[in-house]
Amino acid sequence: MSYYVAQGRAIHRLVILYASLEDLISENDRRYKDQSEDTATPVQDRLQRGYIELSRALPWLHGKLGNLEHEDCEDMLKKLKKGADAARGDDTSCLKDLVASWINQAFCPSPLIQPDDKRSHGFANDICGKLLCPAEWDWDQNRVKDGIHNRMSECIVSENSWPLFLYEDYNVTHGNLEAGLFKSRILVQAFKAIFTSPSLAKEAEGNGDGGVILENDRRVRRKSDQAKVKTCIRFALSNISSWRTIDGDFDYEGFWNNIVDFFEDVPGPVTKLRVDKLLEWWTRKVFGMNHREDLTPDVVSQMSVNTLAEQRKALEDAVFDSD
């Protein structure tokens, strides 16, 4: 595996899932050349944020783009995209098996969901259908199931609805749709499977209260990481067999953008505080709790290392004084 292919594996995981590298680079170049105060479109803002994340994930790339010849630059981007696509394929394949296993363990459906038979997924399956059902509807109502199955106009499943699998305990508070959003067990399991280890995905339980943010939590706090996991789970629950942007009336790229906008396009500081608390919750769920900042000098002075040091000094002084 070449260096660029290996480096490219980070792109779909940490930066973008749909926009092309060329579009990110072109938008950054446009802003560099056009120093006017014209307001950018939401699409252009997303591309620029994507380029900033790309520069953070691959800090050497910006310099390479300015120094390489055109053909060498194209070759580099081609290899980066090859690595990105390969990583996405690995992640979706991994989650296809794991999500089926997690659902079988949590809901015990009969028959069990088969990871290799995508025809048994999606709205044809009662459990998958419930988890994919838009939050504003009640899957247990026959009219909702029939409307979705028959693709009736009043039951259009699109990226404009939050699916139930995003919610804590798979329950929705209709008067406060933000409550419990992005806190489901399956999300935590999928994040751990992709970004830590599949074996750690079994440990989705944890204390989500208190604690502080770890210094090494940048990965869990990347909005693109959050969107990547949720998009891949939606694909795993669906009945489509290959990665695509459109699934019926559901636009995966629009879904991705809606998730990123939830974290980045906030109406004010109060909402920003709730988003930060949600990311702190995710940090604790993925990395566990940490109390380093509670180790004040007074607390440390009472611990055994310092206590022993004081005792040794006292014994040394006592012997010296006796002489």
The token duo for 120 is 């048994």
Q: Please tell me the distance from the alpha carbon of residue 77 to that of residue 198, in angstroms, as a whole number.
A: 30
* Whether residue 96 sits in one domain with residue 74: no
Q: How confident is the model at residue 202 (pLDDT cuts 50, 70, 90)?
A: low
3-class SS at 250? Answer: strand
pLDDT tens figures, 203-220: 655 544 333 333 344 444
Q: Please tell me the distance from the alpha carbon of residue 46 to that of residue 100, in angstroms, as a whole number.
A: 33
* Whether residue 301 sits in one domain with residue 274: no
* Whether residue 312 sits in one domain with residue 180: no
* Whether residue 304 sits in one domain with residue 235: no
* Whether residue 238 sits in one domain with residue 104: yes
pLDDT tens figures, 217-229: 444 445 556 677 8
Q: Please tell me the distance from the alpha carbon of residue 9 to that of residue 209, in angstroms, as a whole number.
A: 33
* Whether residue 230 sits in one domain with residue 92: yes
* Whether residue 265 sits in one domain with residue 134: yes
Q: Which domain holds residue 36?
A: 3-82
pLDDT tens figures, 81-110: 999 888 888 888 888 889 999 999 999 998
> How far from each other are the two terminal CA atoms of the chain, in whole angstroms?
71
* Whether residue 97 sits in one domain with residue 14: no
0.85 exceeded by pTM: no
pLDDT of 142 > 80? The answer is yes
Determine the pLDDT at residue 218: 46
Distance of CA 38 to CAs 30, 61, 209, 225, Å? 12, 27, 44, 30
Q: Could you give the number of structural domains in the chain?
A: 3
* Whether residue 38 sits in one domain with residue 185: no
Question: Sign of dihedral through CA atoms 260, 125, 282, 12?
Answer: negative
The token duo for 210 is 């208190």
Highest mean pLDDT, choosing among 39-48, 178-187, 255-264? 178-187
Query: Among 258, 90, 93, which Cα is nearest to 161's?
Result: 258
